[in-house]
């Protein structure tokens, strides 16, 4: 019969899954935002200011989701 995982091991597994899956979406989103912004700049270089401003704002929102995942993972790791 297999031995059960210890509560500490399950806690660390949960924290690892939380940060790993929690950063998957923002990572993909930031990559797509950057690619779309470069495509837009290539098509319309005169709109550089507006494109970059909107890109940075959208990246900040995506990064905030990653920070929330980090906070959840740290809380999971620290809880007894």
Domain boundaries, the chain: 23-78
Res 62 pLDDT > 60:
yes
Span 29-48, pLDDT tens digits: 999 999 999 999 999 999 99
> Does domain 23-78 bear CATH number 1.20.20.10?
yes
d(CA 80, CA 78): 6
What mean pLDDT, rounded, does the chain reach?
A: 93
3-state SS of 1-24? CCCCCCHHHHHHHHHHHHHHHHCH
């Amino acid at each position: 019969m297999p031995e059960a995982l210890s509560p500490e091991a399950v806690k660390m597994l949960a924290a690892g899954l939380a940060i790993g899956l929690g950063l998957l979406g923002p990572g993909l989103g930031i990559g797509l935002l950057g690619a779309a912004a470069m495509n837009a700049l290539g098509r319309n270089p005169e709109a550089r200011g507006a494109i970059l401003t909107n890109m940075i704002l959208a990246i900040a929102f995506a990064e905030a989701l990653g920070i929330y995942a980090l906070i959840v993972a740290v809380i999971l790791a620290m809880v007894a």
